[in-house]
């Protein structure tokens, strides 16, 4: 029987090369795109078979490649429970997104960039697979760079747009700052172990200083990829300006590579200090609350969903922080609940966030706008999209009977248990539980705003009035993701053994004594509760529908207020719906309002608008970069083109270097010697 690793490596090769044949085919015909999609789907099915075999049967599979470069060890690839757990969403969204692109980004309509998108889609997915399998620094960084560069070209698909180019360059700068941190991280690990192999460090190899340096570099390098606040500054514009199925891939999968890196490398370090877990809890709580707050203030649908990704990454990091606290204090139950909740939320977020971005793509495909206040009434014209988007909205709010509730329930159990039994100094971590509850409440308000303004009411523009349903190639991938949200919510107990496999690989030293996920969380009861709620909801829906049919419907003005002919402009806008929340958190959001000043008896037409800017990018990075740019412009004065000036610069530099390196103490001692 073929080993799971062989299946995954075959999938890696197929997906990575999927876009190459299309380069040789006619760009005006769909054959190249269809061949690329078929290759990606076949490769993803092979990869899913291999990953699921590891998660179900257990075990670790490795393969050694001869290495003639620097270092003393050969290159090694491997798949274990943790790797397989992260491979599943990569293959799933990689395949569904490619199918979605057949309807959303047709080759015949995008002749200038369709082949480019297919090529770099495969390269990006293959890069993620490679870095997950890597057990050597060279292979990990190779996969990391393939993923980073592939995503850059995916982001710049519409390179004729200035905002798209700016978003792509910002992403490239951020991801390579993270890459530099990872180079330093591997250099430190090589100094401690004498090898570039990715393995668990012995206690004698990991000093306190090395541990802190590796921890901080991992948080910087992987936190930039994951989008943890304040390292999230590249994420909102990138996800908003990319093609929607690219946004689904980046939000659902690519940013999780940062989470994979944190989980993998923090698991290599023995005896983590107590402060590590506390810092991750604080960073996660901050990202969860601020991410959803900034989402509430957005008018761009995809930018709103991007900030929701920041919130959910914060929830995952909170779980990882709880697990680290458990390792530090010898509390295996905290480790299991924290890490199981974090890993399960990786899957859940992949499902509902990819679903929401694909739903947003269907809306953009039908209306050609991302502005929420220009939509409305789409449920009449796009019933399938409205239903599937609603499933994703309920799931992301953490409400039963869908999957978001299950992972957040595990985190609540762990955080509340830690709050009750933690020693005195650690009880401050109890703030994380109400923070998680606050982020859930704000998420509910956010998606009530989104769903009401986009799908309910009446159309606010001609584009929304003439919207049309997406084709099956777009709705079927959304349906698969929505089904996944329901299955995880209704049968979470089926995932408990898979979570145990991943936990055993992260913390093998206590795998024999740590409880299983099924022992610390009543997943079967959660499934029964979800099924009962689903049946109750369906029954109420049938009863309500029957009453409406029997009683008939009458047309009347709901709230006339003197208007005999109400227009769509009288509706609540998305901005007005959340205005009170924005004002309540004005100290954080700092909303910018542009209101017309009426001075004349017959004023000219004017507009009213509000905007919530990003505090890191717009408040710090861009102003400081402009200041530095002005400073470098002044330095051009020294570039006068005069040869004598350049010779003087060289002379001054040589004198400074001599002064820096000369042993002045020894020279003075010789001068004073008689």
Which of 24-33, 427-436, 459-468, 655-664 comes out lowest in average pLDDT?
A: 655-664
Phi, psi angles (nearest 5°) of residue 585: -105, 35
Three-state secondary structure of 266-294: HCCCCCCCHHHHHHHHHHHHHHHHHHHHH
- Do residues 357 and 247 touch, judged by C-beta distance below 8 A? yes
Residue % of the chain over a pLDDT of 70: 92
Question: How many domains are contained in the chain?
Answer: 2
**Residue 668, pLDDT score:** 54
3-state class of 371 per DSSP?
Answer: strand
Q: Is residue 49's pLDDT more than 80?
A: yes
Contacts (Cβ under 8 Å, ≥6 apart) of 403:
347, 348, 351, 352, 395, 484, 485, 486, 487, 488, 489, 492
Most trustworthy range by pLDDT among 73-77, 184-188, 265-269? 184-188
**Residue 80, pLDDT score:** 92
Contacts (Cβ under 8 Å, ≥6 apart) of 279:
219, 321
- Report the candidate in 383, 379, 384 with the shortest Cα–Cα distance to residue 451: 379
Q: Is residue 69's pLDDT more than 70?
A: no
- Asked, for residue 67, whether it belongs to a domain, the answer is yes
- Asked, for residue 79, whether it belongs to a domain, the answer is yes
- Do residues 317 and 476 touch, judged by C-beta distance below 8 A? no
Token pair listed for 94: 């990689």
Q: Is residue 71's pLDDT more than 70?
A: no
**E-only strand ranges, 111-211:** none
Task: Please tell me the distance from the alpha carbon of residue 296 to that of residue 307, in angstroms, as a whole number.
Answer: 9
> What single DSSP character describes residue 64?
E
How does pLDDT run across 574-585, given as a tens digit for each residue? 778 888 888 888
- Do residues 376 and 454 touch, judged by C-beta distance below 8 A? yes
Q: Is residue 508's pLDDT more than 80?
A: no
Token pair listed for 314: 């914060």
- Do residues 91 and 22 touch, judged by C-beta distance below 8 A? no
290 burial type by CB count under 10 A (0-12 exposed, 13-18 middle, 19+ buried) = buried
486 burial type by CB count under 10 A (0-12 exposed, 13-18 middle, 19+ buried) = middle
Residue % of the chain over a pLDDT of 90: 51
Token pair listed for 514: 């740590």
- Asked, for residue 6, whether it belongs to a domain, the answer is yes
- Tell me what the mean pLDDT of segment 49-65 comes to: 90
- Asked, for residue 13, whether it belongs to a domain, the answer is yes
Token pair listed for 56: 């179900």
**Residue 382, pLDDT score:** 93
Q: Which carries the bigger pLDDT value, residue 89 or residue 524?
A: 89
- Asked, for residue 635, whether it belongs to a domain, the answer is no
Task: Please tell me the distance from the alpha carbon of residue 179 to that of residue 549, in angstroms, as a whole number.
Answer: 61
Token pair listed for 168: 């792509």
Specify which residues 64 forms β-bridges with. Answer: 76
Among 124, 155, 186, residue at a domain's last position: 155
**Residue 511, pLDDT score:** 46
**Residue 643, pLDDT score:** 80
Taking the CB of residue 370, how many other CB atoms lie within 10 A of it? 22
- Report the candidate in 318, 321, 634, 295 with the shortest Cα–Cα distance to residue 445: 295
DSSP per residue, 183-251: HHHHHHHHHHHSS-B--PPPTTT--HHHHHHHHHHHHHHHHHHHT-TTTTTTHHHHHHHS-HHHHHHII
- 315 Ramachandran zone, left/alpha/beta (phi>0; psi -120 to 50): alpha
Specify which residues 136 forms β-bridges with. Answer: 197
**Residue 349, pLDDT score:** 95
- Asked, for residue 231, whether it belongs to a domain, the answer is no
How does pLDDT run across 343-399, given as a tens digit for each residue? 999 999 999 999 999 999 999 999 999 999 889 889 999 999 999 999 999 999 999
Task: Please tell me the distance from the alpha carbon of residue 282 to that of residue 265, in angstroms, as a whole number.
Answer: 20
- Asked, for residue 204, whether it belongs to a domain, the answer is no
- Tell me what the mean pLDDT of segment 3-17 comes to: 94
Which position has the token pair 């049967």? 57
- Report the candidate in 376, 373, 248 with the shortest Cα–Cα distance to residue 298: 373
Token pair listed for 293: 């707050």
How does pLDDT run across 625-640, given as a tens digit for each residue? 888 888 877 777 777 7
- Report the candidate in 415, 412, 396, 152 with the shortest Cα–Cα distance to residue 291: 396
Q: Is residue 540's pLDDT more than 60?
A: yes
**Residue 551, pLDDT score:** 67
- Do residues 129 and 8 touch, judged by C-beta distance below 8 A? yes
Question: Does an H or E element contain 611, and which?
Answer: strand 609-611
- Do residues 397 and 447 touch, judged by C-beta distance below 8 A? yes
- Asked, for residue 663, whether it belongs to a domain, the answer is yes
Token pair listed for 400: 């039963």
Cα torsion 422, 425, 426, 427 to 10°: value is 70
How does pLDDT run across 464-494, given as a tens digit for each residue? 888 899 999 999 999 999 999 999 999 999 9
Task: Please tell me the distance from the alpha carbon of residue 91 to that of residue 8, in angstroms, as a whole number.
Answer: 10
- Tell me what the mean pLDDT of segment 287-305 comes to: 92
Helix, strand and coil percent figures for the chain, each rounded to 5: 70, 5, 25
Among 155, 175, 201, residue at a domain's last position: 155
Task: Please tell me the distance from the alpha carbon of residue 309 to that of residue 305, in angstroms, as a whole number.
Answer: 7
**Residue 588, pLDDT score:** 81
Q: Is residue 218's pLDDT more than 80?
A: yes
Q: Is residue 428's pLDDT more than 70?
A: no
Among 155, 180, 200, residue at a domain's last position: 155
Task: Please tell me the distance from the alpha carbon of residue 500 to that of residue 516, in angstroms, as a whole number.
Answer: 6
Structural domain of 669 = 642-674
- Tell me what the mean pLDDT of segment 223-236 comes to: 92
- Do residues 84 and 55 touch, judged by C-beta distance below 8 A? yes
- Do residues 99 and 41 touch, judged by C-beta distance below 8 A? yes
């Amino acid at each position: 029987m073929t080993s799971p690793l062989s299946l995954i490596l075959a999938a890696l090769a197929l997906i990575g090369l999927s876009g190459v044949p299309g380069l040789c085919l006619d760009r005006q015909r769909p054959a190249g795109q269809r061949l690329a999609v078929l290759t990606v789907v076949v490769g993803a099915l092979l990869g899913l078979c291999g990953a699921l075999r590891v998660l179900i049967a257990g075990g670790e599979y490795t393969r050694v490649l001869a290495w003639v470069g620097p270092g003393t060890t050969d290159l090694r690839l491997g798949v274990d429970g943790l790797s397989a757990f992260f491979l599943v969403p990569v293959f799933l969204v990689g395949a569904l997104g490619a199918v979605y692109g057949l309807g959303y980004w047709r080759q015949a309509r995008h002749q200038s960039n369709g082949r480019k998108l297919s090529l770099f889609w495969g390269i990006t997915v293959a890069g993620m697979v490679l870095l997950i399998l890597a057990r050597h620094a060279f292979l990990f960084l190779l996969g990391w760079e393939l993923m980073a560069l592939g995503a850059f070209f995916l982001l710049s698909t519409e390179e004729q747009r200035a905002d798209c180019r700016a978003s792509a360059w910002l992403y490239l700068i951020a991801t390579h700052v993270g890459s530099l941190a990872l180079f330093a991280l591997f250099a430190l690990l090589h100094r401690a172990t004498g090898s570039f192999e990715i393995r668990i460090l012995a206690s004698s190899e990991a000093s306190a200083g090395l541990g802190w340096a590796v921890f901080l570099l991992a948080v910087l390098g992987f936190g930039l990829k994951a989008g943890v606040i304040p390292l999230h500054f590249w994420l909102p514009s990138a996800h908003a300006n990319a093609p929607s199925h690219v946004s689904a891939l980046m939000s659902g999968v690519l940013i999780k590579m940062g989470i994979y890196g944190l989980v993998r490398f923090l698991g290599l370090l023995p005896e983590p200090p107590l402060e590590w877990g506390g810092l991750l809890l604080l960073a996660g709580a901050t990202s969860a609350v601020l991410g959803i707050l900034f989402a509430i203030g957005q008018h761009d649908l995809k930018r709103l969903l991007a900030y929701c990704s920041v919130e959910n990454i914060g929830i995952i990091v909170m779980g990882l922080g709880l697990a680290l606290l458990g390792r530090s204090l010898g509390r295996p139950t905290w480790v299991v609940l924290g890490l199981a909740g974090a890993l399960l939320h990786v899957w859940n977020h992949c499902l509902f966030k990819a679903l929401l971005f694909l739903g947003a793509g269907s809306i953009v495909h039908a209306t050609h706008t991302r502005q929420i206040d220009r939509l409305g009434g789409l449920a009449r014209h796009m019933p399938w999209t409205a239903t599937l988007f609603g499933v994703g909205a309920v799931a992301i709010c953490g409400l039963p009977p869908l999957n978001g509730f299950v992972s957040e329930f595990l985190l609540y159990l762990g955080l509340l248990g830690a709050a009750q039994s933690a020693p005195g100094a650690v009880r401050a971590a109890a703030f994380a539980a109400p923070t998680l509850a606050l982020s859930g409440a704000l998420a509910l308000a956010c998606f009530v705003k989104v769903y009401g303004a986009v799908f309910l009411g009446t159309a606010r523009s001609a584009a929304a009035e003439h919207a049309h349903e997406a084709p099956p190639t777009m709705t079927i991938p959304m349906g698969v993701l929505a089904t996944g949200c329901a299955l995880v919510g209704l049968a979470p107990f089926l995932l408990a053994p898979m979570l145990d496999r991943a936990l055993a690989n992260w913390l093998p030293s206590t795998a024999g004594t740590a409880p299983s996920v099924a022992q610390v969380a009543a997943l079967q009861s959660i499934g029964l509760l979800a099924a009962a709620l689903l049946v109750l909801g369906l029954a109420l829906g049938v009863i309500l529908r029957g009453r409406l049919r029997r009683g008939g419907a009458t047309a009347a003005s709901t709230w006339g207020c003197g208007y005999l002919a109400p227009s769509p402009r009288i509706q609540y806008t998305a901005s007005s719906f959340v205005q009170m929340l924005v004002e309540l958190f004005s100290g954080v959001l700092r909303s910018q309002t542009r209101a017309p000043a009426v001075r004349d008896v017959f004023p000219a037409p004017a507009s009213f608008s509000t905007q919530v800017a990003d505090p890191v990018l717009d408040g710090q990075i861009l102003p400081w970069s402009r200041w530095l740019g002005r400073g470098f412009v002044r330095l051009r004065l020294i570039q006068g083109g005069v040869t004598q000036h350049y010779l003087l610069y060289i002379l001054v530099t040589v004198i400074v270097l001599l002064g820096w390196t000369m042993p002045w103490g020894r020279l003075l001692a010789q001068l004073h010697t008689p």
